[in-house]
Structure 1
Amino acid sequence: MHATDKQPWYREPWPWLLMILPLTAVVAGFITAWYAVVSNDGLVADDYYKEGMAINQTLHRDTAAIALDLGATLHTSADAHTLHVTLAGKLSPLPNMLRLSILHPTQPGHDHVITLNTAGDGSYIGAMPSLGNGRWRLILEPPQREWRLTGVWWQPHTKTLTLDNRHPAKIQTNNLN
């Protein structure tokens, strides 16, 4: 019999190497749980049922815009501080003002609402906020919210945008590079 020099298990490298992966997973799990508790769930709605029921009312406003044959052209000024909107369709009388919601797709804190005042003959004008680069969702509607026009605005490249619910697949943008 040979006498072998046996070391305790904790002095061997293999048990420690085998334990590193499960220990890393446990630590990552705790970090993930901590982050889930302290972070803001900005996209989760508290009253999701009511919001789901409101979809039918929203679709009704789109249908009303189609029935009125409404369309709008949005154009920013050269300095990008003023927004000009031209409304066309079978709407009589024209509203004195319009509301344009500029919505960020993922961060509600970056949303803007612009009040557009009439400038005559279906034209409206308002102050354009400073928008970050990227994709923005637009909703144009009167103060009473009977109808709405929607579209997507790419910043900073899109200077002119046509909103037309009659042909949603044909939303037109004129890019000026």
Structure 2
Amino acid sequence: MTMRDKSAWYKHPWPWILMAGPGLVIVAGVVTVWLAVVSNDGLVTDDYYKQGLAVNQRMHRDHQASALGLHADLMRSDGKVRLLLGAAAEVSLPETLVVKLAHPTRAGQDQLVEMKAEGQGFYSGQLLADVGGRWVISIEDPAGQWRLQGEWVADSGEPLRLETKLEK
């Protein structure tokens, strides 16, 4: 017998090297299960069925904005949002508007900005936090009769033009 045969198996490096792969897989699986349990699925809503049923009601507001010929230019500067609202027909513009800024992936960053009229279709409001990147914008009248929607890249420096052109 050689000296090597007399030593215990755990004193050799090869069994440990061979067990390292499956051991790492087990540790990675435990970490993955832990992350799945403790993390928040921010994109999943609890009332997705009710939201699906309300699509027709929201589409009615888009059709109403189209019928009125509404269009808006949205821009930001120094923590403020400015809006120029116009219409193809003679429409009485409201004193206030609601602008919803929804982040596509982080619901915690969404903002609701109340815009006050400054005259001749101009509105302004204060942002709660600075915005950057891509946003889904929704402009609504306080009565909920019409809505303009679009996507905005806030970092582009260009104003966002919102128009509703729906086919009937």
How many angstroms apart in 1 are the aligned matches of 2:123 and 2:154?
21
Cα RMSD, aligned residues only: 2.1
Q: TM-score, normalised by structure 2?
A: 0.84
* Percent of pairs with identical residues: 42
How many angstroms apart in 2 are the aligned matches of 1:112 and 1:91?
31
Change beyond 3 A, Cα 1:118–1:63: same
Q: What aligned pairs does 1:1-177 form with structure 2 within 5 A after superposition?
A: 3-5=1-3, 6=5, 7-77=7-77, 80-89=78-87, 90=89, 92-166=91-165
Give CA-to-partner distance per residue, 1:33-79, whole Å, 9 cap, x none. 112212222221112211222222222222222222111012334xx
Question: 2:111·2:127 contact (CA, 8 Å) conserved in 1?
Answer: no
The aligned amino acid for 2:80 is T
Which runs of no fewer than 5 residues in structure 2 stay unpaired?
none
Which structure would you say has the larger RCO, counting Cα contacts within 8 Å and 6 or more residues apart? 2
How many angstroms apart in 1 are the aligned matches of 2:112 and 2:144?
14
Change beyond 3 A, Cα 1:87–1:132: closer
What SS does the corresponding residue of 1:156 show, helix, strand or coil? helix
Q: TM-score, normalised by structure 1?
A: 0.80
Question: 1:131·1:155 contact (CA, 8 Å) conserved in 2?
Answer: no
Which runs of no fewer than 5 residues in structure 1 stay unpaired?
168-177
How many angstroms apart in 2 are the aligned matches of 1:11 and 1:120?
85
The aligned amino acid for 1:149 is L
Alignment size in residue pairs: 163
The aligned amino acid for 2:68 is L
